[in-house]
Amino acid sequence: MTFLFLQFLPIVVFMVVDSVIENTAVSIISAVLFTAVQAGITWHASGTFDYFLLADLALIAVMGGVSIATNDDRFFRVKPALIEALFVPFLLFFVFAPEGVFSRYFGRYMPPGRALTHAAFPLLKRMLVIMTVYIVFHVMAILYTAEYSSRAMWAFVSGPGFYLVLVPVMAYVALARCRRSKAAGRQ
């Protein structure tokens, strides 16, 4: 999720610069430079490169360069859809992965001394399926708004729109967790 949030920030930079300067090339270059600085800060803070952020930087540079060369910002505007579409196979891998692979990968993010239980796998896999479907719909919405909507509508759908619609998904997960806790308490 953090990665998806970080890919939203260059869109904000693009929109702010575009609203002040009203020059697509300068706006795209600003977004690319912002992403490069973002990658540098991440590297400096952690001592390692975030490969997702580097892939985002490469993609934003390529799509931004094509947009500037063709004088058509739609190439830049489809970049969020491309990066999210690349994320879908990653999610699907874990949906269909054996529990051992799933447990080892996600176990790295658990607090020390805690482990994923066998009972958690169905809920986690269901959540990944929901996220995958949600991301596919978001990709389609980005592509549609990149082609047929204003820059402001595209920026909203590409960025905060993702998180605003995600709230019901997270509410579903929280309710499922509460139901499971209540059912376990009755036993």
pLDDT surpasses 90 at 88: yes
| Mean per-residue pLDDT, 28-56 | 83
pLDDT surpasses 80 at 8: no
**What is the model's pTM?**
0.73
The tokens for 42 are 């991440």
Please state, for a pLDDT cut of 70, what percent of the chain lies above it. Answer: 96
Q: Judge whether 158 and 145 are in contact, CB under 8 Å.
A: yes
Tokens 């952690």 label which residue? Answer: 46
pLDDT surpasses 80 at 186: no
102-160, pLDDT tens digit by residue? 788 877 777 888 877 888 888 888 888 988 998 999 999 999 999 999 888 988 888 78
In angstroms, how far is CA 132 from the centroid of its own chain?
Answer: 11
Q: Judge whether 142 and 134 are in contact, CB under 8 Å.
A: no
